[in-house]
Structure 1
Amino acid sequence: MTHNTPLSPRPLSHLSEAARQRVLTANSLRAHGIPVSEADARCRPGGPWQLLLPGVYLLHPGPPTSDERLHAALLYAGGECAPIPAQQGAASRTGGPATDVRPCTPPSPPSPPPPQTPQPPQAMITGLAALTLHGFDGAPSLRALDRIDVLVPWTRRLRSTGGVRVVRGQSLPDAEEITGVPVAPVARALADTVALLPDAGVVRRLLVESVRAGHCEAGAVVGELIRARLLGRPHVRLAVDALVAESRALAEGMLYEMVFRHRLPCPCWNVDLRLPGGPYLGGVDAFWPEQSVAVELDTRTPRPHLEADARWSEYARKREALEVLGITVVHLTPAKLRDSLGQQAAIVRTALMTAVEREPAEYVVVTPR
């Protein structure tokens, strides 16, 4: 037997139990002892198999399930398939007479294998299919999608074909595993979706749902849209405005819930502060005049650098001006309110209770916004 002798075919009936095993690449079939010529013969009209994508075979004649389509797309794009069990065979035997002689010294225990660093996936599901897997109500079902988008490194030489659209990225994010499938994070999947969607209404609904349903933060979405250079499109900018407004409204709702659920003193909501007869100091989301404590929600999102510099410098100027006057400013973000509402309430309560230990603040005029 030489190295060129093909392996004897293994029965493939056991591969019909799981969706991943019903979709195999040509290399995997070759490991089972089935050459490409035989696999192609089984894919002829009326045959038991199908050539689902170039080099990817479906081992049954019916239409592929959604799970099979996902795994076929990943295999085509370079993902790894499930390992094939080693073929069973007779154990190898060493020649020479048997002996009962034991060595005088016991053999040293084998050294443990070095830890293997998990390799990042070479491909992951993105676009609308990823949003569906993340649970977006506004995304269509996998069966309704004509194509499944797969994110691959920029250097991969791969073409979109059949039901797979190849999306290239200079840097791939850390994939999230959903039902055993590597999926792009929500913000990246949204950016890849928006890049191919001309419908302003659909783009707006998907962006708003991302924060309304708690899938991700508005800042993460806007950051990905900036990196993809999509904010220059008018319908995307309008959708981002709606996204920011939705994020702001949700954060204000969580702030109200924090005050009432944890029984904090009722503040003045959404007010402007100014010195008597003097300059305007800025607006805050909640203010306790007797304790001189203000809460400000930070719902800023990344913007192109010129606009971002102006917005951030204005925010820093306002906070510094209030603190110079003796007003304690508590900085809250939507993520903090969502993840640790009780902890943020304790921070505000501490600021209110320690007001008597601080120097009296300057008198300011409070007016509704």
Structure 2
Amino acid sequence: MTHNAPLSPRPLRHLADVHRRVLTAAQLRSHGVSSAEQSEQCRPDGPWRQLLPNVVLLHPGPPTGEERLHGALLYAAREKAPGVPAQPSAESPHRPLYGEAMITGLAALALYGFSATPHLLSADRVDVLVPRQRRLRSTGYVRVLRTATLPTPRVVTDLPVAPVPRALADAVAEPTDADAVRRLLTEAVRGGHCEPAAVVRELTQAKLLNRPHVVDAVDSLVAEGRSIAEDRLYRMVHEHGLPDPVWNVDLRLPGGPHLGGLDAYWPDQAVAVELDTRAPRHDEDTLWSEYARKREHLERLGITVVYLTPRKLREAMEQQAAVVRTALLASGDRDPAAYVVVLPR
């Protein structure tokens, strides 16, 4: 038998091309290929090669990047999907093939199109995320990572891939190069893949915020996220025809205490906008209490405070502009606000 010969009794034409090139030992047996025949085909000078334990590459030579990923998932899912898998469904296109396994780490970020990651062929390993109870060892180029709570994967190039925040956390768990970590986190935010808060939340859950190289990168990430959010706020005001506010100001009572800083303020209407760019760390409750106290104090003075999150500005800018416009229009129905001093921040 050659590697191009059809495998009987079941044809392979119902499988995608990569699924014809990489199959598990169980899948091959269901096609009528015995274990002895598999061993013969995988001899050193044979037409096939053993890619991973119980995973066979059905051609000689090195695997492609796609075959490496598919093989890694089949290895991680082999206990979940014995035999030839059923066709994927539209709702869950990867589940019949890969069970609960998904690509994570640098390989996942490469699939998302990150430029700060190595090419899939040059990567030393592929990280695969599985449920904690799976009894599965890392082997070859596959590193098995376990989690108690499996995230809902995204489908990228027909492969199940961990969400960007989780993939980032797995990718930066080992490197000690702060510059490399900073590049990954910055690209995640600058490229619109996710918001800083989601990344910090995932890093917190992974207990990575006690590592200096990660903390330094997170500080840069939060600053990057705020800068991007400020740019979106400027765009929202100008593109949706809102009156120009005064930007980045501090408010004080005349001869009295400091009331807090604001990202935008309309003095004539006594309407303020503040960007909620809190990073969800261990002091999140304290930070939120400070936000709430400032808002209550300003509103007692007759100043309406609108909080906008970076995510809302990115995903629903027009809706957020309508919220601010409504607050501005409603100012005529309110009692006049207390006089405050507006200073540049």
Q: One fold, TM greater than 0.5? A: yes
Q: Secondary structure at the match of 1:240?
A: helix
Q: Describe the superposition over 1:245-301 as per-residue Cα deviations: whole angstroms up to 9, x where unpaired.
A: 000000000001111112211111000111111111111100011110000110111
Instruction: Give the alignment of 1:157-176 within 5 angstroms.
Output: 157-176=135-154
Task: Flag the 1:47–1:326 CA change in 2: closer, same or farther, 3 A.
Answer: same
- The match for 1:115 is none
Contact 1:20/1:82, CA 8 A, preserved across alignment:
no
Q: 288, 295, 303: which one pairs with 2:273?
A: 295
Unaligned 5+ runs, structure 1 = 1-7, 86-117
Per-residue deviation at 1:62? 2.1
Partner of 1:31: 30
Secondary structure at 1:142 match in 2: coil
Q: For residue 367 of structure 1, what is the aligned residue in structure 2? A: 343
Please report how far the alpha carbon of residue 198 of structure 1 lies from its aligned counterpart in structure 2 after TM superposition.
1.6
Query: What does residue range 262-301 of structure 1 map to in structure 2 within 5 Å?
Result: 262-301=240-279
Query: Whose Rg is larger?
Result: 1
Q: For the residues of structure 2 that align with 1:170 and 1:76, how far apart are their CA atoms?
A: 20
Whole-angstrom CA distance in 1 between matches of 2:176 and 2:338: 53
- In structure 2, the residue matched to 1:22 is 21
RMSD of aligned C-alpha atoms?
A: 1.9
Q: Partners of 2:84 and 2:130 in 1: how far apart?
A: 22
Contact 2:10 2:32 in 1 (8 A): no
Aligned residue type for 2:169: A
Q: Choose from 239, 244, 251 the match for 2:229.
A: 251
The equivalent residue for 2:324 is: 348
Separation (CA, whole Å) in 1 of partners of 2:23 and 2:123: 22
Q: Which residue does the alignment assign to 2:181?
A: 203
Specify the code of the residue in structure 2 equivalent to 1:125. I
Shift, 1:9, TM fit: 4.0
Q: Which residue number in structure 1 is paired with residue 239 of structure 2?
A: 261
Q: CA deviation at 1:10?
A: 3.4
Q: Could you tell me which amino acid in structure 2 is paired with residue 63 of structure 1?
A: P
CA distance in 1, matches of 2:203, 2:85: 41
Residues 113-159 of structure 1: CA distance to partner in whole angstroms, max 9, x if unpaired?
Answer: xxxxx789321000000001111111111011111000011111111
**Aligned counterpart, 1:357:** 333
How far apart, CA to CA, are the structure 1 residues paired with 2:117 and 2:82?
Answer: 27
Cα 1:363–1:84 change in 2 (3 A) is closer
1:17-40 per-residue CA deviation (whole Å, 9 max, x = no partner) reads 711221111111110111112101
Per the alignment, residue 169 of structure 2 pairs with 191
- Correspondence 1:316 to 2:315: no
Alignment partner of 1:67 is 2:66 = yes
Percent of matched pairs sharing the same residue: 61
TM-score under structure 2 length normalisation: 0.91
Amino acid at match of 2:32: G
Secondary structure at the counterpart of residue 17 of structure 2: coil
Query: Do the aligned residues in 2 keep the contact of 1:10 with 1:33 (CA within 8 Å)?
Result: yes
Equivalent residue number for residue 46 of structure 2: 47
Selected match of 1:240 from 211, 214, 218: 218
Once the two structures are TM-superposed, the CA of residue 342 in structure 1 deviates from its matched residue by 1.5
Task: Give the equivalent residue in structure 1 for 2:305.
Answer: 329
Give the 3-state SS of the residue equivalent to 1:129 in structure 2.
helix
Secondary structure at the counterpart of residue 257 of structure 1: helix
Letter in 1 for 2:230: E
Q: Could you tell me which amino acid in structure 2 is paired with residue 53 of structure 1? A: L
2:206 is aligned with 1:220: no
Q: How many residues align?
A: 328
Matched-pair contact (CA < 8 Å) for 1:186–1:216:
yes
TM-score where L is the length of structure 1: 0.85
Task: Give the Å deviation of 1:83.
Answer: 3.9
Letter of the structure 1 residue corresponding to residue 310 of structure 2: P
Note closer, same or farther for the CA distance 1:362–1:134 as it changes in structure 2 (3 Å cut): same
SS, match of residue 238 in structure 1? helix
Match of 2:91 in 1: none
SS in 2 for 1:125: strand
Partner of 1:126: 104
Taking a change above 3 Å as real, the CA distance of residues 201 and 82 of structure 1, as seen in their structure-2 partners, is farther
Deviation of the 1:236 alpha carbon: 0.5
